[in-house]
Structure 1
């Protein structure tokens, strides 16, 4: 992203994020449209923080299935850029299966592992549970479960 687009996207995200809570109040429909438009534009420019925040909001609060799919797509884009929070969400998306992302244990494990390697606590905990219970296509292994538990207890690593 060019420096001017990065600056524009950062400003749009900052404004939209500040407007978000106001836009949820009754009688603020126009502000809601403005907020959404700013977020969409910043996300289309590839602004990583927007992709994560707006992606999460659309995925969890989206009024339509198209909103939820767009939220997942934004999160996947941020995950591919290396954002640990988005990688955690990507793992969850693949674990649960959300159109167009079909449920896939190998993809879920890959994304959880990428997030966990960057220190994401929930990803570390999910991998520990998966190894402990033999979930996500992983063999049950108390040793690997304890390794991920130890990593989860040391968030600075």
Structure 2
């Protein structure tokens, strides 16, 4: 079942990229008591993700903070080292990278996809959501191959 507005995020463990190295965090602890924008990409270093999705959120960090968002986080079915290298390669600041290396979180929220036809295996669908104290209050899931409703600009317009 796909997560919906009003649902609480399920318990899952993600790996947060930090300057000190990978740090395991649970969704329960990470999202508790805060307002967080979470967006997902099918993969680090992929064309749309690198050219539009990640840079769009990185450019809008202050605009989200002005709307009382505590943190912006990006998740992908990649390991923490790949996500860290991707953020560094794109000179991204103000966006927390949350690795979902095995795709457990993507599956738990019903937003995984099979990218095997492209040699990518299990991946996350492209989406953006606003999460308030662990509860999804906005959710924008893209159609396959599209990039519109999950953009930073679209989510900003909704909050």
Provide TM-score, normalisation by structure 2.
Answer: 0.27
Higher share in helix: 1
Larger relative contact order, structure 1 or 2 (CA cutoff 8 Å, min sep 6): 2
TM-score, scaled to structure 1: 0.28
